[in-house]
Amino acid sequence: MKSFKKIGVIDFGGQYAHLIASRIRRLGAYSEILSNEEPLSRYMEFSGIILSGGPASVYEPKSPQIDSALLTSSLPILGICYGHQLLMQVLGGKVEPSNSKEYGKAKLELLSNQNPILRNLDSNRTVWMSHGDEVSLLPSGFQVLGSSPDCKYAFVANETKKIFGIQFHPEVTHSDQGEILLGNFIRICQAEQSWDIKTFQDEKIQSLQRQIPPNKKVFFLVSGGVDSLVAYVLVAKALGKDRIKGLLIDTGFMRENEVSDLKLELVKQEIDLTIWDARNSFYEALKNQSEPEAKRHIVGELFLKEQAKAVASLGLDPRNWLLGQGTIYPDTIESGGTKHSHKIKTHHNRVPAIEEMIKQGLIVEPISDLYKDEVRELGTNLGIPSHLVSRHPFPGPGLVVRMISSAESKMEDSLDKIQVWFKKENPSLDFGILPFKSVGVQGDQRSYAHCLAISNHLESWEDREELSRTITNKWKEINRVVVLLGESAFPKEFLYQKIELNEEYANRLRKADDLVTKILKEENILKEIWQMPVVLVPIGNEKGSASIVLRPVLSSEAMTASIYRMPNLILKRLASSLKALPGIDYVFFDLTNKPPGTIEWE
Active site residues: 81, 169, 171
| Closest C-alpha among 166, 207, 140 to residue 77 | 166
Write the CA distances from 305 to 1, 332, 490, 511, 555, integer angstroms. Answer: 32, 22, 47, 29, 34
User: Which H or E run contains 48?
Assistant: strand 48-51
The rounded distance, in Å, linking the Cα atoms of 75 and 227 is: 34
SS3 328: coil
The count of C-alpha atoms lying within 13 angstroms of the C-alpha of 45, restricted to the half-sphere facing its C-beta, is 16
The rounded distance, in Å, linking the Cα atoms of 560 and 215 is: 42
Strand-pairing partners, residue 78, are: 50, 164
Strand arrangement of the beta sheet that strand 48-51 belongs to? 30-34, 6-10, 48-51, 77-80, 163-166, 151-158, 143-148, 94-110, 124-137
Amino acid at 568: N
User: Which H or E run contains 352?
Assistant: helix 352-359
Cβ partners under 8 Å of residue 110, min gap 6 = 118, 121, 122, 123, 124, 125, 145, 146, 155
The rounded distance, in Å, linking the Cα atoms of 233 and 147 is: 50
Is 90:68 a contact under the CB 8 Å cutoff? yes
The rounded distance, in Å, linking the Cα atoms of 368 and 145 is: 38
- Percentages helix, strand, coil for the chain, rounded to the nearest 5? 35, 25, 40
Say if residue 61 is exposed, middle or buried (CB neighbours under 10 Å; 0-12, 13-18, 19+). exposed
Give me the helix-helix angle, 197-211 and 226-239, nearest 10°. Answer: 60
What letter does residue 193 receive in the DSSP assignment?
Answer: T
H/E/C letters for each residue in 533-592?
CEEEECEECCCCCEEEEECCEECCCCCCEEECCCCHHHHHHHHHHHHCCCCEEEEEEECC
The rounded distance, in Å, linking the Cα atoms of 318 and 291 is: 33
SS3 290: coil
